[in-house]
Structure 1
């Protein structure tokens, strides 16, 4: 755990990691999920030196609580997340695409 983390953040990290492992997630993936959650919370509270716009603007991982994986409501990644991936892959015309179009473009490339 990074030295910048508080004791509370370390406890949160361990709890999230243990919960993920209890649900059957592998150790490596569980540590990644836990670290990303704690780091996103740190970014939203202004504790990190660098933070992505998506991390700061999106709702907290605790509040989201799987909203994007249930049967009703939006599914999958947000438009901003899709856009960032499209930018990394160099897809042309991405700024004018909506969420569905970005998902289709990423699926094709």
Structure 2
């Protein structure tokens, strides 16, 4: 790890790396995730010579909680899950409804 890191930042890096590996990331990807988070925190604290604009503005990685991570696909329940809930609530016309119509009928839009 870089010489500039404090003992606390080193411990934070190890914790993040282990956590990422536990979630299924490979060892190299886990190291990258840990280093990026620690380095971004260092930039926000003014401990680096240079920092990107995105490192200085917006939420910290801890506050963001993965909001920008992962795939950008659809979120929420699947159409089948919505359909089954509508069936349990005995909503009429559910078989002809789309996912968005089911969500609206269930009040989940």
Offset at 1:66? Answer: 1.5
Larger helix percent: 1
Does 1:7 find its partner at 2:7? Answer: yes
Q: Residues 1-109 of structure 1: matches in 2 within 5 Å?
A: 1-69=1-69, 71=75
Runs of at least 5 residues in structure 2 that lack an aligned partner in the other structure? 77-109
TM-score by length of 1: 0.62
Which secondary structure does the structure 1 equivalent of 2:50 belong to? Answer: coil
Runs of at least 5 residues in structure 1 that lack an aligned partner in the other structure? 73-109
Offset at 1:69? Answer: 4.9
After TM superposition, the runs of 4+ consecutive aligned structure 1 residues lying more than 2 A away are 67-72
Higher gyration radius (CA): 2
Aligned residues: 72
The alignment yields a C-alpha RMSD, in angstroms, of: 1.6
Which secondary structure does the structure 2 equivalent of 1:21 belong to? Answer: helix
